[in-house]
Each structure stands twice: as C-alpha cells, then as structure tokens.
Amino acid sequence: MASGMHKFPRRERLTRRSEYLKVYEAGKKQVDQAFICYVHAQLGHGRQFGMAVSRKVGGAVVRNRVKRYLREIYRRHRGQLSSDLCTVVIARPASARLTFHECETALWRLLQRGGAIGE
C-alpha cells in the first residue's frame, strides 16, 4: 500500500462530468502526439487530477495500462505540481504504443509547457 506522498487520495480526483467540463472550458490546453493536457488553476480547490482514455486508444487491457501509467506518473510527481491546480489528461491512440518512461516524459513535457510545475 502506498503511503504519504505516493497516494492518490479521493479528494485529488476529478470525478464529476461538470468538473471535467470546467477544466476543458477554462483550462490551458497543451497537445502532443500521445496526450492532450488541460491545466486550470483554481484557488482553494487543491490539486486535482482526472484522465480520459477512450476506446480509440485500444482494447480494455491497453486502456487500463495507459490509465495505470497516468495514475502512477501523477503519484510520483504530485509534490512537484502547483498546489491549486486541476489537470485533465486525455490519452490519444499513440499513447498505447508508449512505455511507462515514454509516457512519463511526454506528460512531464506537457505539464511544463502548461505551467503546472511549481510551488
């Protein structure tokens, strides 16, 4: 079981459609071949993270692997993200072919471009 900084607590998850829509509308969008990343600063909400992996990415096994990768990347690097930030990552079909480290590099690059790294 993960402890301390390496958890992904429920309060840090985006769970409602309305939360996703708010980030899509107001957030800063960054795009690369494997992911689309929306970053939106919301004072007083704390860090929040959501992801969308559609069937265009692949079958259930592939989609679940991509989601595991994204959750793990968030767990590892959440301390380096700005504190009042909502982030939504949308996986594109190219993400299915990436290894964990390639996903990590691609997502980190998008987060840097979006101004999510800080604190």
DSSP string for the chain: ---GGG---GGGB--SHHHHHHHHHHSEEEE-SSEEEEEEE-TTS--EEEEEE-TTS-SHHHHHHHHHHHHHHHHHHGGGB-SSEEEEEEE-GGGGG--HHHHHHHHHHHHHHTT-B--
pLDDT of residue 4: 52
Question: In the structure, what pLDDT confidence band is assigned to residue 10 with cuts at 50, 70 and 90?
Answer: confident
pTM of the full predicted structure? 0.87
What are the structural domains of the chain? Answer: 8-113 (3.30.230.10)
Question: What confidence tens digit (pLDDT) does each residue in 60-112 have?
Answer: 999 999 999 999 998 888 888 888 888 999 999 999 999 999 999 999 999 88
